[in-house]
Every structure is written in C-alpha cells, then in structure tokens.
Chains A and B, each alone.
Chain A
Amino acid sequence: NAGVTQTPKFQVLKTGQSMTLQCAQDMNHEYMSWYRQDPGMGLRLIHYSVGAGITDQGEVPNGYNVSRSTTEDFPLRLLSAAPSQTSVYFCASSYWTAGPNEQFFGPGTRLTVL
C-alpha cells in the first residue's frame, strides 16, 4: 500500500494563479479531508468528504474548492491564490464505520504564494 500520497511536494505560485493539489489513497477509505498547517495554529480543516460525490466545508473553506468523483482521489483547488494561502497542506483519510477512526496523513505540500 502506498497509503496517502500528495503531489506536488513543493509549489510556488504568484498571486492570482490557480492550481490543484492532488491527493490519493489506496486504502478504500470513505473519509478524506484537507488541512492546512500554520505555525502556532495547529491544523485547520479546509474541506472534507465522507464518500464519492459528498463534500462539506470545514473551518477555513474560503478560497478553496474540492470534489470527490472517486473513492481514491480528493483534489484541492485554489481558485485565485493569495499570500494568506501560504502554508503546508495535508491530506488525510480514514475509514468511516462504527465511530471515529484514526486518520492517515499524507506527507504534505508546502505552498508559497508570492
């Protein structure tokens, strides 16, 4: 199993550019989520999905879009990048049966917006 994979590992954007952060998992997990990690603020939930075709907003959804067309993939789109979106982004997945299960995290994408 590759677990949770994320691409790219590093990205530099200019203000106003758009891009998609890719996330895939091969564990057949129903639940997938995106977080951003900023110094002194822990991880904050951006968007999450409990299955293909189902997504919902987390704590900090503005400026980001997601879709879930397959169980395996959960891409995060930045529509018009802003310097405030400079952060490390983590994708995570878990089973969604009989209560809360531990999440498996990808290695992260470090994004810089100039």
Chain B
Amino acid sequence: AQSVAQPEDQVNVAEGNPLTVKCTYSVSGNPYLFWYVQYPNRGLQFLLKYITGDNLVKGSYGFEAEFNKSQTSFHLKKPSALVSDSALYFCAVRGNDYKLSFGAGTTVTVRA
C-alpha cells in the first residue's frame, strides 16, 4: 500500500526566510508526486507535480520541490516566504493505480 508522511505538523518561519515543508513517501513502482495548498475554508489548490525527468520541479507562486529517489522524499521549498504563504500544505503520491494518497498536512505560518 502506498503512503505519505509529513513529519512536521507545523512549520513557522519569518517573512523573507526560506521555507521548507518535508514529505517522504512509500509506493510500489514509479511514484507520481504532488503538492497541494489549502487556504482556510477553501478547497485544495494544485502547486506542482513530479512525474519523471528533472528532480527539481518548479510550480506556482514561486514554490519548487526536490525529488530524491534514494531518500524517497519530495520536499517543498520556497526561497523567500511571504505572509500570504500561510496555509495548510499537503503532499500526495500516486502509484500505478488510480488512487491518490495524501499526507496528514503541514500548517505553515509565516510571521511578518
């Protein structure tokens, strides 16, 4: 069975500092990896995905993620965080079936 772990429930950073949200996964076969963001009382919004190719994936709003096959990780990064980046972030994995498995989520708070 596939699974996703987001080891940090909360991440707190100061505006302008780098932001990293960690994600590790377990899946049979080639992993398809996604990051989504959820703002309060809203549905999830897609940020970026990894399917194959370059290990550094660039996405929306200045976010990027680095795929590391040996460490089975897909960490989300932003070089300079904004207060508006404060939200709930989900990592998700899909294997060779139709099902997407989500992590428990990481709450990011960016203080001014």
Contacts and interface: CB of A to CB of B under 8 A. Distances in A.
> Do A and B originate from a single complex?
yes
Interface of A: 4, 31, 33, 35, 40-45, 48, 50, 56, 58-59, 90, 92, 99-100, 102-108
A43 B92 CA distance: 9
Interface of B: 4, 9, 32, 34, 36, 41-46, 49, 51, 90, 94, 98-105
Tell me the interface secondary structure of chain B in the complex. Answer: strand
14 contacts: A4-B43, A35-B102, A41-B104, A42-B90, A42-B104, A44-B102, A45-B100, A48-B99, A58-B99, A92-B43, A100-B32, A102-B49, A103-B44, A105-B45
Contacts of A105: 36, 43-45
Give the 8 A-B residue pairs with the shortest CB-CB distance, closest first: A105-B43, A102-B46, A42-B102, A100-B32, A43-B102, A105-B44, A42-B104, A107-B43
Contacts, number: 56
A59 B91 CA distance: 17
Given A42-B104, A42-B105, A107 B42 contact: yes
A42 B51 CA distance: 22
Contacts of A107: 42-43
A59 B99 contact: yes
